[in-house]
Amino acid sequence: MNNIIDPPVRRTVLVCQHQACRKAGARQVFALFQTSPLPDVAIVPVQCLGECGNGPMVLVLPERIWYNRVNPDEVPAIIQRHLQQGTPIEPMLYPKFHSH
C-alpha cells in the first residue's frame, strides 16, 4: 500500500489552450509554467476560457485573477510575484474583470 500523500493545492493556474490562444503562444506559456513547479500550485491546460482574441489567457484560482495576452517573458513574474509572494501584478490584469 502506498501512503504517499500529495501536498494540498493552494492555487490552480488555468492556461487556455484553445486555437486562438495557441496561435498567440499559449503552448509556450503553459510549458514555462510547468518548468517552474511549485508544490502547492497545480498548472492545468484548459480547452477554452471564453475570452478568445485576448489570449493567451491565464486564470489563477481560487482568487479568480485573470491575466490576458500573457507572453512567455511574463510567466516568471507571475510565478514569482503572484504565485510565490501572493501579489497579483496589477498592470498585467485583464481589465474586463479587474479595474486598475
pLDDT in tens, 50-100: 999 999 999 999 999 999 999 999 999 999 999 999 999 999 999 999 975
Question: Is 97 part of a structural domain of the chain?
Answer: no
The answer on pLDDT for 28 being more than 80 is yes
Residue 99: per-residue pLDDT: 79
CA distance 88 to 60: 9
For residue 6, what pLDDT is reported?
Answer: 62
Domain membership of residue 23 (yes or no) is yes
Question: For residue 1, is it within any domain?
Answer: no
- What's the grid cell of residue 26? 499559449
pLDDT score, position 3: 59
For the chain, how many structural domains are there in total?
A: 1
Residue 32 counted as domain residue: yes
pTM value?
0.89
**The predicted structure's pLDDT at residue 29:** 98
Write the CATH number for 52. 3.40.30.10
- Domain-located, residue 92: no
Cell triple for 63: 482568487
Q: Where are the beta strands (DSSP E) in 1-100?
A: 11-16, 41-46, 58-61, 65-67
Residue in this structure with the C-alpha cell 507571475, named with its chain if needed: 78
- How far is the C-alpha of 62 from the C-alpha of 58, rounded, in Å? 13
Q: Is the dihedral of CA 97, 65, 26, 24 positive or negative?
A: positive
Q: According to the model, what pLDDT value does residue 9 have?
A: 80
Distance of alpha carbon 4 from alpha carbon 40, whole angstroms: 15
Domain annotation covers residue 48:
yes
Residue 93 lies in a domain: no
Domain hosting 35: range is: 11-87
Q: Could you tell me if residue 50 is inside a domain?
A: yes
